[in-house]
Amino acid sequence: MLNKNHHTHFIKSTAAQLGFHYCGIAKAIQLDDDARRLESWLQQGFHGNMQYMENYFDLRIDPRKLVPGAKSVITLLLNYFPAEQQQNNAPKIAKYAYGKDYHDVIRDKLNNFIQIIKQNIGDINGRGFVDSAPILERTWAVRSGAGWIGKNGNLITKQQGSYFFIATLITDLDLITDDAFAKDYCGTCTRCIDACPTNAIKENKVIEGSRCISYFTIELKDEIIPTEMQNKFEHWMFGCDICQDVCPWNRFSKPTNENAFTPIPEILNLSTEEWNTMSEEAFKKIFKSSALKRSKYKGIQRNLKFLEADVELKV
C-alpha cells in the first residue's frame, strides 16, 4: 500500500511538472454502458464518413485490450484557451488550432512522462494516447473525477470550463483511483443546443457528428460541401467553437501557459482576401506545425469557397 500511495503521488506531481492542469486516475475495466451507447450512435449513422469510428470496437470499450495487464487509466487535461482572439472579419478557426498541432505537443509530453515513470518506478507497461487510438477519453475523464459531459458532448470542469485537450495514459501500475464525477452541472441550460446552427446537438447529450461544422470543415474529404449546409457555418473555416463559446462555464476559462499553443500570427491576423490569395507553398510553410494541415491546402480552399457562397447568398 505504501508503494501504491507513493506511486500515485509521483504520477500526479509529475503530471503537474509536465504542464498538465489535471491528473485523475480510474480503474481499468470494460465500459459496458458506453459500448451500448456507441453501438447505438454508430447504427444511427451519426459518424457520417468517419468510418474509422466503426473499427476496433472491442478495444474502444476495454483498455486492457490496448495495454495487456492494464490496471489504471490516467486522464490528463491540458488547457489551450488562447489569450488572443482572431480579428472579427477573418474566417474563423477553432481555438484548439491556434498554435502548434496538439497531437505533436502532447505526444512528446506523454513519451516524456512514460520515460520518467520508468526511470523512477521501474519497467512498467504503459501507453499514452491523444486522438491516436480507439479510446473513450471523455468517459475515462469523468471516471477519474475531472468533470461531467455537457449537452454539447464536451467534458466540462467547474474550474476552467471545457477548453482543454484530453490525453490518456494506460498502465499496468496499480494506483489509487479518484472518485468519479457524479453530478451534472448543466442543469436546464440549453445554450449550446439553441446556438448550434446545424442542429448537430441532440437530446440526451447525443451529437450527430455528421452535421457538425467541424465534421464538414475537417473530416469530410469530398470536393463539395452539401448545399443544404449553405448559410449555416457562421463564417467558420476550420472547426467550430460555437457550443463552447456560449457555454456559461467557459467564463472561467484562463489563458494557457503552454508556449507551444501561442497563436500563429497569421491565424490571428490574416484577412479573408489574404487567405484566398495564399499559395499552396506558403500554406505548407506557415502551417507546417499546425493542425490546419489536417485539412490540407485543398480543403481550406474548398471551405473558403463555401463561405464565399454564403456571403453571395446574403447579398
Instruction: Tell me the catalytic residues.
Output: 131
- Name the residue among 280, 271, 272 with its Cα closest to residue 299: 280
SS3 87: coil
Task: Give the 3-state secondary structure of 89-151.
Answer: CCCEECHHHCCECHHHHHHHHHHHHHHHHHHHCCCCCEEEECCCCCCCHHHHHHHCCCCEECC
Residues 96, 102 contacting (CB under 8 angstroms): yes
**Distance in Å from the first CA to the final CA of the chain:** 70
Q: For residue 126, list its beta bridge partners.
A: 171
Residues 118, 173 contacting (CB under 8 angstroms): no
Residue 149 phi/psi, 5-degree rounding, is -85, 120
For residue 295, CA distances in Å to 82, 87, 233 come to 21, 22, 16
Residues 76, 105 contacting (CB under 8 angstroms): no
Number of continuous H segments (helices) and E segments (strands) in the chain: 12, 8
Residue 78's H or E segment, with its range, is strand 72-79
Q: b/e for 250-282, b at 16 or more Cβ within 10 A? A: beebeebebebbebbebbeebebeebeebeeee
